[in-house]
Amino acid sequence: MYTQQFREAIDRTANKNLATQHLAIETEKQFLTSKTKQKLQNFLENSKINPEILYSNVFQFTYEAKSYLENLLHTKVYYTIGSLNICGEPCFKLTEERIDDHLKTNILEKKFSFNGHVWLTLPTMEIVDLTYPTIDLIETEDFEGYAPIIAEHSDDLQKNGIVYNPMLVGKEFMYEINEIVKFG
């Protein structure tokens, strides 16, 4: 299911005249080992970004983490934008209508906030979300520090009630709506 949604997200990205990426799905490989997951957790904890600051810089942090993950795994990593449901409850909901509203609204006239989420997708359709668990703890508890990251195959996450729904692939949409900063 996620693989088909991901392909549709790439098509949707192209249809919105945003730069797209070639998708090379690798079904026989698994990148996320326990050692890799620990390195990713360490990356988050050693980032020296305060969890409360992470909360307000999710999009930029995830974009910057993409390079780290590509170097660690020696593979293409896809910056993915969409919705997230946990046990049937929407945590973030991004619709095609909302995407269109964001793209046609002048940044200075923005009347609504972005209600999507970002994560990283590997060519194996494994998902790495370095930010949601910490965001959730900040919103629901008095918590200091970082929560464990999400790093699993999309099918395994769905079996456990964690459903990522990709809507767009790539950073260009986030540039367009001024949610991440373009350097250089």
Tokens of 82: 């969409």
Q: Is 73 left (phi over 0), alpha (psi -120 to 50) or beta?
A: alpha
**How confident is the chain (184 residues) per 10-residue block, as mean pLDDT?**
93 89 80 95 83 76 91 94 92 89 67 79 95 75 74 94 94 73 48
| Structural domain contains residue 182 | no
Cβ-Cβ contacts under 8 Å for 62 (sequence gap 6 or more): 79, 118, 119, 120, 130, 131
Cβ-Cβ contacts under 8 Å for 76 (sequence gap 6 or more): 21, 24, 70, 123
| Structural domain contains residue 166 | yes
Tokens of 29: 């490989």
- The number of domains in the chain is 1
End-to-end alpha carbon distance in the chain: 37
pLDDT for 57 equals 81
| Structural domain contains residue 22 | no
Q: Please tell me the pTM assigned to this model.
A: 0.88
Distances (CA, A) of 84 to 64, 101, 119: 21, 20, 10
| Structural domain contains residue 108 | yes
Domain that holds residue 59: 2-16+30-176
pLDDT for 183 equals 44
| Structural domain contains residue 162 | yes
pLDDT for 59 equals 83
- Contacts of 104-111 with C-beta under 8 Å, sequence gap 24+, read 107/177, 107/178, 110/177
Q: How far apart are CA 73 and CA 75, in angstroms?
A: 5
Strand, coil or helix: what is 6? helix
pLDDT for 143 equals 63
